[in-house]
Structure 1
Amino acid sequence: MVIGFQQKGDSMNAQFKLLALATALATTVACSNMAPDTAATQPATASGATNFELTIAHVNDHHSNLDAHSRTSLQLDGESVRVESGGFARVAAMIDRISSANRHVLKLHAGDAITGSLYYTLFQGKADAAMMNHVCFDGFVLGNHEFDNGDAGLKKFLNALAKGDCNTPVLAANVKPEVGVSPLTPRGRWDSFQPYQIYNLGGQKVGVIGLDIAVKTKQSSQPDATTTFADERETAEHYIAELQRYGVGKIILLTHYQYSNDLALARALPAVDAIIGGDSHTLLGDFNSYGLDSDGPYPTQITNADGEPVCVAHAYEYSKVVGELQLQFNGDAISSCGGRPHFLLSEEAPAAFDDTGLFTRIAPQASAVAVRDTFAKDVDVLTQQVIARAPERLCMQRMGVISREQCGSAGQSDMHQLVAQAFLRSVPAADFSLQNGGGVRGELPAGSISLGDAYRILPFSNTLVTVDLTGAEVKQLLEQTMAYTLSDAGSDGSYPHGANIRFDVDLSAADGNRVSAIQTRTEQGWQPLNNDQRYSMVTNSFVANGSDGWLLLGELSEQGRVEDTYIEYAQSFIDWLRAQDQVTRPGQHSTINYTPVQP
């Protein structure tokens, strides 16, 4: 494998980098996980063009999910089954299997390695870096959540990733920290990462360019104010041209840019052969009959600006899937896209999954388990870590069957209100938050509050989602939740609780008239809901899909008016608890006046 890049206008090191690149391109270097080989080993076509096969083993958006998912619900032959899935030790085993079975392999990670589980809460990326170094990825692109703790937080993670013998190249062509200001760039723009990597595989030059999603990272994460993000397409065009000047004809984009954006980017750009992507948590492959929603085929093949094929692949989320992309080249052009996703299951899962071409039953890699266990034992202990205190009981009750005695003088559910406040603190740009009653599963007694308590109260793998909706749609949504609460097929878990929003509820009224006096809190105080005004609401990803009777959100999601922040909802509550220290009962709840169903 060879490495080299040069950015025009870079500091006094530019000439040195160019010289190093020229030297590297003339030399074949064997990577620790690749046997040395030469172009002579590749068959040539009648026209003289060389046939070449490249395998890419890839993951994305593992979000500190290092443990297996113990109760994944799937469908098999029309029956519901629960199986253990994923876990980073299975990712390591699968990538090792792919690497052993193929000659020319790149192991790529498409970003958002960190934030999302107790492993990150406790170890701030060190556990993720250790597991990633064990796999030894050949390339890692920065994602938006890499910036959640600012440039300094990212620098700490990258320092941990740089430890050991792996030396994974970190790619981010369009990320521009201010030189001399950001801890990422104390001396020059490429101190902590680089725009691309050039590999020599079997005498073939393969270039991989890294791109992060620009606007989302700047607006929804926390990079330093002086760190900017260049346009994805313009950046790609610049570095594609640079690679071509260096004689690199096989070009791959490693992006954290979302599936739909990747498709548009591929169509707009020349010379791109493949895109390995992330950010949208996209599941590709025909998983629909197994109880999972698929967004397209694996791989997805489209045509670039030159009229040549481009292979696009994503690998879902949370250490559940490893993608195996097979690229066939004729010269520098793609002749075919192949491969498959490996949705990783326990060996104890039904053997029928083996015949699907989608699922792979595989044991966790023992050496990877040993690495994880150095952190897991502390996770078990630190789950008891006290993060706040409650001077009195903080109750939880389901509003559809309200019992005012349960919560004493407050008359409402403390826990739901506090969680809604935490949502709003994590996404301060939102006008208000709403949370379904069923998303909160416990209460807090007076005394110490631990990390374990937070995860007990919010046990699901939900994330925070923002929704763009009008005042009229807010009213419609609230009425839908009340109707579902009262319906025979519904659940009182649909009942809404919010922060910076309040309303009266009369469950004895006719459908469409159960919610009234809706107000939102603004800088000018409480104001009546304006039917024509657009509002930004933060909620959880479960109801954002239209679940639990929140049907309107499913429709808005299809219209592109819902965006996942990928902030884990339990993490938002943990952060809020830490900021409070002493957690007291809320002085006001979102439901002001409540009338139950009349007998």
Structure 2
Amino acid sequence: MRSLLRWVFLFAVTLSVSSCKTKLHPTVHANQFYQIDASLAADSSIIQYYTPYKEKLQQEMSRVLGYSDLHLTKSREAESLAGNFFVDALLWKAKQLEPDVQASFATKGGIRADLKAGNVTVGDIFEMMPFENVLSIVTLSGKDMLRWADYMAQTGGQPAAGIELEIQDGKVTMFRVQGREVDANATYKLVTYDYLANGGDYVTFLDKPLSRTDYPQRIRETLMEYVTDLTKQGKHIQAQLDGRVKFIK
């Protein structure tokens, strides 16, 4: 902390000198440091100012959206309950925006937390997806779809919906979209989010989309809508492992 304050002070002095036409040569006669820790007394006026906002935020974060019958865990496996829930929600929303969307894609690293069994709150969804990423719908050539399958094979599988993918000895042995084998000469619509569409997580197969549309819909808003819609239908979250991405030994 002392080292940091010293550097801040020196930076401020340098900045003030460089901004003047007249060159100054400041001399520090004495150093004085202030310890910033729990020993500092709380400022009651500041606490009074932010408390109403804090209470409102806590109330919103505690708002129940729905119910999960299972603990949706995330993992490094080819499939996970949290991953399937996540991409099923993406595909559900994308079909509302563009009905011909066929598949969805995310990465394991983008899912930041499990979803525990029981009541699902706004705060739970924020923990699962805390970022400001938005929905991206891309149109890809069949060749780029095959590049996607290769990416999945190289990375041990990633969350995806609308597909069936089998990988053996590091090679793709079967790849279907909506029940049909991928045709290298066809085109496909895929939903993901802007971070991946921009090449995050070493994604390269999205670098030459035939078209791309970014929607203002945030991913966590999509997850919230998905859970709320299930609740309105009298349903619980019931994600399951269904073999959509499979590594054959």
Q: TM-score, normalised by structure 1?
A: 0.31
Counterpart in 1 of 2:240?
586
1:423 to 2:85 alignment? no
For each residue in 1:335-391, what CA deviation from the matched residue of structure 2 results, as whole angstroms up to 9, or x when unmatched?
xxxxxxxxxxxxxxx869999xxxxxxxxxxxxxx7x97655312222011111112
- Contact 1:421 1:433 survives alignment (8 Å): yes
SS in 2 for 1:389: strand
Counterpart in 1 of 2:191?
538
Counterpart in 2 of 1:503?
165
SS in 1 for 2:57: helix
SS in 1 for 2:240: coil
Q: 2:133 aligns with which of 437, 462, 468?
A: 462
Q: 2:150 aligns with which of 470, 479, 504?
A: 479
More helix by share: 2
1:547 to 2:200 alignment? yes
More strand by share: 1
Counterpart in 1 of 2:75?
397
Query: 1: distance between equivalents of 2:239 and 2:205?
Result: 31
Pair 571,373 (structure 1): closer, same or farther in 2 beyond 3 Å: farther
For each residue in 1:486-542, what CA deviation from the matched residue of structure 2 results, as whole angstroms up to 9, or x when unmatched?
xxxxxx6xx422111121123x33xxxx22311111xxxx21112111111100111
1:568 to 2:239 alignment? no
- Contact 1:431 1:536 survives alignment (8 Å): yes
Pair 434,587 (structure 1): closer, same or farther in 2 beyond 3 Å: same
1:60-71 matched pairs, under 5 angstroms: none
Pair 446,563 (structure 1): closer, same or farther in 2 beyond 3 Å: same
Aligned-partner residue type, residue 381 of structure 1:
Q
Query: 1: distance between equivalents of 2:73 and 2:200?
Result: 25
For each residue in 1:41-90, what CA deviation from the matched residue of structure 2 results, as whole angstroms up to 9, or x when unmatched?
xxxxxxxxxxxxxxxxxxxxxxxxxxxxxxxxxxxxxxxxxxxxxxxxxx
SS in 2 for 1:570: helix
Counterpart in 2 of 1:314?
none
Which structure has more RCO (C-alpha within 8 Å, separation ≥ 6)?
Answer: 2
Query: 2: distance between equivalents of 1:464 and 1:373?
Result: 34
Query: 1: distance between equivalents of 2:183 and 2:139?
Result: 14
Identical aligned residues as a percent: 18
1:15-30 matched pairs, under 5 angstroms: none
Aligned-partner residue type, residue 467 of structure 1:
V
- Contact 1:395 1:443 survives alignment (8 Å): yes
Query: 1: distance between equivalents of 2:173 and 2:84?
Result: 19
Pair 443,391 (structure 1): closer, same or farther in 2 beyond 3 Å: same
Query: 2: distance between equivalents of 1:482 and 1:505?
Result: 6
Counterpart in 1 of 2:26?
none
Pair 589,577 (structure 1): closer, same or farther in 2 beyond 3 Å: farther
Aligned-partner residue type, residue 221 of structure 2:
Q
Counterpart in 2 of 1:519?
176
Pair 499,353 (structure 1): closer, same or farther in 2 beyond 3 Å: farther
Counterpart in 2 of 1:316?
none
Q: Give unmatched runs, 5+ long, in structure 1.
A: 1-349, 356-369, 403-411, 486-491
Aligned-partner residue type, residue 567 of structure 1:
Q
Q: 2:120 aligns with which of 430, 446, 449?
A: 449
Counterpart in 1 of 2:29?
none
SS in 1 for 2:143: helix
SS in 1 for 2:205: helix
Pair 587,436 (structure 1): closer, same or farther in 2 beyond 3 Å: closer
Pair 465,388 (structure 1): closer, same or farther in 2 beyond 3 Å: same
Query: 1: distance between equivalents of 2:125 and 2:138?
Result: 25
For each residue in 1:148-207, what CA deviation from the matched residue of structure 2 results, as whole angstroms up to 9, or x when unmatched?
xxxxxxxxxxxxxxxxxxxxxxxxxxxxxxxxxxxxxxxxxxxxxxxxxxxxxxxxxxxx
1:56-455 matched pairs, under 5 angstroms: 377-399=55-77, 412-428=79-95, 429=98, 430-455=101-126
- Contact 1:481 1:496 survives alignment (8 Å): yes
- CA shift, 1:392, in A, is 2.3
Query: 2: distance between equivalents of 1:417 and 1:536?
Result: 19
- CA shift, 1:477, in A, is 2.1
Pair 481,527 (structure 1): closer, same or farther in 2 beyond 3 Å: closer
- CA shift, 1:577, in A, is 1.0
- CA shift, 1:396, in A, is 1.4
- CA shift, 1:587, in A, is 5.6
Query: 1: distance between equivalents of 2:51 and 2:198?
Result: 35
Q: TM-score, normalised by structure 2?
A: 0.71
Pair 353,466 (structure 1): closer, same or farther in 2 beyond 3 Å: farther
- CA shift, 1:469, in A, is 0.3
Query: 1: distance between equivalents of 2:135 and 2:200?
Result: 15
1:556 to 2:234 alignment? no
Pair 376,562 (structure 1): closer, same or farther in 2 beyond 3 Å: farther
- CA shift, 1:443, in A, is 1.4
Q: Give unmatched runs, 5+ long, in structure 2.
A: 1-10, 19-48
SS in 2 for 1:551: coil
